[in-house]
Structure 1
């Protein structure tokens, strides 16, 4: 009997619900906010963005080697055994007239607004940092493009001759319907390679861009609940800076994605037109030299100058908060190694454990540290 009474009391307690209890409502105190369900449209957009990243961020060192090797080999074959003529062999084809001849303008039309929007967000709306640390990269690139193309034209004009006797200048030769023989370093090959490399470098802020959304959501939760998170890259921003980043990120990210997809399509077009230039235009030495000038200019600016941070401007993606994760550098023989975490800071040791489908294959043993007093 006592046992039965005890069970009845326990059952009554289990079914008890306080006044005002809502079974659909859960206590979320101390829990992180979760992201909204992903729609089909967002999934398709993510797939498209993934494909674009695979195209434009193809190993740039390998791409540079392919540029130089193709300029030499494909052009050399064309010098001795001309390729069959196609629509792209005509200088008046639509891509050459409306895109290649205006190549740098197309590059600026897409890269400048993309740079302004991404850098403005990373600088928390600070116009001074935008104009001082990021826009000068495009100005410098334009300066080198103009300098080299003028130099190529000067060399062709000064060290050439007309096929008609008594005509000493290139302008008079061409106006008279004659042909000017000169060392014509390929301006098209230069602009196509240099524009491609500039687009690849300036597009890099999109890497990890979606992570900012999660950082904003978590940091907003932390500030509302007065929790402290040492791992959130936005934790050191002032309240007005945080609010500025939040508003601009939500407002401009769709446009940034459109610009990035367009930059990828343009970079792909430049590669296609470069192949056409290799096949049908200029001599091998003229194309190889222009490619060397383009690659050296890109290497000097984006690989040597900007990452050094000794002189302005800053490197791509630099701002008031760090959101990109950089993998550790591979081991190099006879060289003292130091992990380069870039914008991410030191990584968690659990990241070093091999994973399959995101799950660790084995549990890493804890590391014990002993100290002596």
Structure 2
């Protein structure tokens, strides 16, 4: 066979080029598609709200109690929710559908949590100096202005350091850290939670005809899962408030895109490794 003509075959090239896309699409079950659509649609909803009589509310202040106690410690609360999910996983019988899936062995679940944590760290906290979000800001011409205690030009100062010395970000493109954190945390929890919800719903539907076990779905839902869903609702609400009151549209778009990168890598492209 002519190797050159084989490699130049447009059908073969097209199949090769679309293999990654096909792999991604295969992972997008209906529930996952809905979740992936939720946050871009919420962002658009927040933008539309700004065209109305946008009167300040309690959530327009960064000092609101939910922002201070929850969002500012967002990954800590996400980690707590995930450990609750791990505890629920350990409580399941060995015959459970989720428990029989290799992907939901405890070791692989912990590995995915560590990857998600590392991604949060390098984007928001530290990446061989400035975190990625601050590097984007500096690279696009931004700098810290007004921090008199710092001796250098303040160009390579992190956002946290800038705020701590009374400075402010000026210029540049500042990816929305709140947008990134809330979406990254939410997508991570949704993707980890979804198979547990699927199994619960399967069992719940199978028992609906049994009058002795006929309960409302909220009563039947295990407490572990209720707590995680409650946090996800809170994260969604605070993301909506961010969309309405803080950052420019494109700063929120960039925060959203960076949050989706980890989902594509971990849950679609490298799904069989983690």
Match of 2:62 among 91, 104, 122: 91
Match of 2:142 among 160, 169, 185: 160
Greater share of helix residues, 1 or 2? 2
* Residue 127 (structure 2) aligns with: none
SS of aligned partner of 1:180: strand
* Residue 284 (structure 1) aligns with: 249
**TM-score, normalised to structure 1's length?**
0.48
Cα distance in 2 for residues equivalent to 1:91 and 1:58? 35
Match of 1:201 among 170, 173, 191: 191
Match of 1:272 among 209, 213, 237: 237
* Residue 191 (structure 1) aligns with: 181
SS of aligned partner of 2:181: helix
Deviations 1:82-103 (A, max 9, x none): 9321100111101100111111
SS of aligned partner of 2:62: coil
Q: What value does the CA root-mean-square deviation take over the aligned residues? A: 3.8
* Residue 73 (structure 2) aligns with: 102
SS of aligned partner of 2:115: helix
Match of 1:179 among 168, 186, 195: 168
* Residue 109 (structure 2) aligns with: 134
Q: Which has the larger radius of gyration?
A: 1
* Residue 115 (structure 1) aligns with: 86
How far off its partner does 1:297 sit? 1.5
Task: Count the aligned residue pairs.
Answer: 213
Cα distance in 2 for residues equivalent to 1:270 and 1:58? 22
Deviations 1:47-103 (A, max 9, x none): xxxxxxxxxx9943234234224425634874x889321100111101100111111
Residue segments in structure 1 that go unaligned for 5+ positions in a row = 1-56, 214-253, 314-373
Distance verdict in 2 for CA 1:139–1:116, change over 3 Å? farther
Cα distance in 1 for residues equivalent to 2:259 and 2:93? 29
Residue segments in structure 2 that go unaligned for 5+ positions in a row = 1-28, 125-130, 205-218
Using the TM superposition, name which of 157-166 and 294-303 deviates more: 157-166
